[in-house]
Structures are given as C-alpha cells and as structure tokens.
Amino acid sequence: MAKRKTKYVCQECGYETPKWMGKCPGCHNWNTFVEEVEASSSSSRHTFQTQPGTKSKPEKITAIHSEEEPRVTTKMPEFNRVLGGGIVPGSLVLIGGDPGIGKSTLLLQVSSQLARKQMNVLYISGEESARQTKLRADRLGVTSDNLYVLAETNLLDISNQIEQLNPSFVVIDSIQTIYREEVTSAPGSVSQVRECTSELMRIAKSKGIPIFIVGHVTKEGSIAGPRLLEHMVDAVLYFEGERHHTFRILRGVKNRFGSTNEMGIFEMKEEGLREVKNPSEIFLEERSQGAAGSTVVASMEGSRPVLVEIQALISPTSFGNPRRMATGIDHNRVPLLMAVLEKRVGLMLQNQDAYVKVAGGVKLDEPAIDLAVAVSIASSFRDQVSRPDDVLIGEVGLTGEVRRVARIDQRVQEAAKLGFQRAIIPAKNLDGWSTPNNIEIIGVNTVQEALKVTLGGN
C-alpha cells in the first residue's frame, strides 16, 4: 500500500512544509501548523479551474461593456449602505463575527426580506438543523414560501441543490463547516476553506447568484482560516459589538463594489435585529452630563458622522508602573497623548493610572478623536468639568498642535443638529469655510488653547 503523504500547513497564511515547525516562516506566527493529508490524485487540481476549456483573450478596454449591474436592495438601508448600495449579482461576500453576535440572525432577516421580493432564497446551514433554523425564523417572524432551508455540509450536494433550485440568493452558514470530499483534511482547515470558497466563487460568478458566507472569527479577531480567504471574496464585512451591549455594528473592511469603512448600526432585540437610524442620539443617551473626564467627539464612520462620548479616568498609581488602558480606541494613542499633555501642557501624569473608554461599545479609529481624548484626560486629572454642550474635533500632533481633519462641515452639522452649542475645531479648518450660524465655532491651534477654552484656567 502506498504510504499516505502528509504535509504541514500554516492555518494563518497557508504556508506548506513537509516538516512540522513551531514558527511559520511565512507569517511569523507561532503554533499555526496543522498536519494535512495530501490529495492523492493529481486530477483534483483541474476541477478547481474556474472555467475549463475557455481561454480568455486580451480585449481593448474601450470595447468592454461596462453596464452597471442593477443591485438588489433590502429593506434595511444600513445593510445596503455597507455593501455600497445593495447586493451585486454574482458577488461573493464574507461576513465574519464573534460567536453568538448575530450573524445567522442578520442573514436570515436579509434572506426573508429578499424572499418577500419574490426571489428564491436558499439558506444553507451547516451548523444547525432545519428545525433549529425554523425556530429562529419563528422568533424573527420570518415566513415566506420563497425561502428554502437546507441543512447540508457536503459542497457537492450543496452545488447540486443550487443547480436544481436555481435561487437568486444563497447563504452559507458557515464556511468552516462545509467540506469537499476530494480534500482530505478536516472541515475548517485551510485547504478545505480555500477549496470550498473557490468553488463557491465559481458558482457565484458563473450563475450570477450573490452568495453570502459566514466565517468564524479567531480569538485574535481575524476570520478563522487563511488570510487569503479575504483576498478571494468580493467583500468582507465584520459584524461586531460588545457582548454586554445590544448594539451591533456591521462594518465593511473590503469591498470591490463600494467604499469600505461604511458602518451600519443595529440593535439586537428579542424579535431580531433592528436598524438604528440616528446612532448619535443613542450613543449619547446615557451620558452623565457635568462629570469630569467626559467629552463628546464627532467622528466619521464611513460617510456618516456620529457623536460619541469619550470618558477618561485618571487616578494616582498605587504600585510601581502606571496602567494605561483603552477601550474602543487604539491603546497606543493614550500614552502618546498623555506624553503630549505632560510635555506641552505641563500636566504631571507620569505617576497616574489612565483608563480611557469610548462609551456605548463603539470602536473609533481615526485621528480626529485625539483632541477629545486629550481634553477628557486633562479634565479627569484636574477634576474640572467641560461644558456638556461642547463637541471636540481635531488631530493632535507631537508638538501639541491641533491638526486639520477631513469633512469638518459634516461633523459640525451633526453636532448642531443634536443641539450642541460650541464646536472646538482645528483653526486650520476655518480657512475657506463659511461657518454655520446655528453653532458657535472656536478654532484652536494647540491643545493648550483647547484646554483653556473647555476647562478654563491655563
């Protein structure tokens, strides 16, 4: 009997080696190699080809038809926006998220809305039986004769069913449970995930069916399986939120048919996910007005401004090294801004613990929030309260200068709409901008100036 050949494959990047290794030379991660049996027949390679027999020829770009394909829209504008205006026919979209965050719920609701539009929808669950899916559907109030449920994990059977039913929308929940028989490794391994995705890609492209696949997320927060999965699909969306909050955020991280960084906000309710139309109001709802260490920032999330509270707590260190903790913002920004406050403003922060938090479980990752973080820290340290109707916008440089930010008018308008009285913004942003008259605008050049305006004193 021929000896079975095995190889070791890195589960992060797909690097292959005949011997086990502790550290992957490809992506430098530790303990990522898993033994897999090599597929015996060399013919399996051929079946993965996208379209056997067809050879493509170079064409003049001017001669190619570029009709914008009509997008399919759902009744959830938040969902449509994250996709760049709706579902593109023939696209393959990956939705990743922590366990239990609501991926199946979201896709079942989307499926039901499409089914109500007289589209045939096939929801394939590899994790739950058809009855379990039905139970969820009952809870969500999903009923439609055009929605089909299939509990199946074998990709060949799945593709046969797709062939037979010829649906206009397919959901695969989840890619980690689907397998191809020709590939010997276990479902969820790099080879399985890669091969199954490429087959689904072929089905989507050749039949023009949009396919949404659910992907699990590893402890580090990336989609389990190789990074190259993200390269293969047309769009990657992350569904995130804090377990203890009911808010869920759908974020685009890659999109071949629209801008990324769009964000859709939902609220998880007993009867399913509900859209949040005015996120700023919700994020500011529980704000404790008049408390030291709290400020409000107008941050851009994709093309939309949202107002979010930033809280800081500064307290003396009890033992040894001071702690610096940040939730919802890049934790490296906190020590950096504290160093700027120390050096440029003269606040003695080196023996203080600092905890900075974005309220409501949102994550903000743009530099325009710097000024609000810095003022929150100073406000908590000095125990001085800033006015609750101030909104702060600006990036802070290492010399303590407040730098220009993009889309200042949209941010300020959103603040004015919510009743804020003063916007403290970078002075540079005032050039060539006719400021609105429903809100007072104060331009500042340095952090020190901003502190003077908001907290008073020097």
Ligand X SMILES: Nc1ncnc2c1ncn2[C@@H]1O[C@H](COP(=O)(O)OP(=O)(O)OP(=O)(O)O)[C@@H](O)[C@H]1O
The footprint of ligand X (CB under 6 A) covers 97, 99-105, 127, 139, 268, 270
Binding of residue 191 to Mg ion (CB under 5 A): no
Q: Nearer Cβ to ligand X, position 174 or 189? A: 174
Which part of the chain contacts Mg ion (CB under 5 A), choosing from 8-16, 19-27, 28-36, 97-105? 97-105
Gap between the terminal Cα atoms of the chain: 84
Selection from ligand X, Mg ion, none that 99 binds (CB < 5 to 8 A by kind) is ligand X
Q: Nearer Cβ to ligand X, position 102 or 400? A: 102
Selection from ligand X, Mg ion, none that 268 binds (CB < 5 to 8 A by kind) is ligand X
Binding of residue 112 to Mg ion (CB under 5 A): no
Q: Nearer Cβ to Mg ion, position 53 or 99? A: 99
Selection from ligand X, Mg ion, none that 96 binds (CB < 5 to 8 A by kind) is none
Selection from ligand X, Mg ion, none that 151 binds (CB < 5 to 8 A by kind) is none
Taking CB positions, which residue lies at the least distance from Mg ion?
104
User: Which residues, in sequence order, are CB contacts of 432 under 8 Å at separation 6+?
Assistant: none
Binding of residue 104 to Mg ion (CB under 5 A): yes
Which part of the chain contacts Mg ion (CB under 5 A), choosing from 11-19, 32-40, 99-107, 369-377? 99-107
Selection from Mg ion, ligand X, none that 277 binds (CB < 5 to 8 A by kind) is none
Q: Nearer Cβ to Mg ion, position 215 or 400? A: 215
Q: Nearer Cβ to ligand X, position 110 or 354? A: 110
For residue 266, give the nearest of 103, 75, 78 by alpha carbon: 78
Shortest CB 268 distance to ligand X, Å: 5
Q: Nearer Cβ to ligand X, position 245 or 323? A: 245
**Radius of gyration (C-alpha) of the chain in whole angstroms:** 26
Shortest CB 225 distance to ligand X, Å: 14
Show the CA angle centred on residue 195, arms to residues 72 and 240, nearest 5°. Answer: 50
Selection from Mg ion, ligand X, none that 105 binds (CB < 5 to 8 A by kind) is ligand X
Q: Nearer Cβ to ligand X, position 16 or 275? A: 275
Selection from Mg ion, ligand X, none that 22 binds (CB < 5 to 8 A by kind) is none
- What residue ranges bind Mg ion (CB under 5 A)? 104
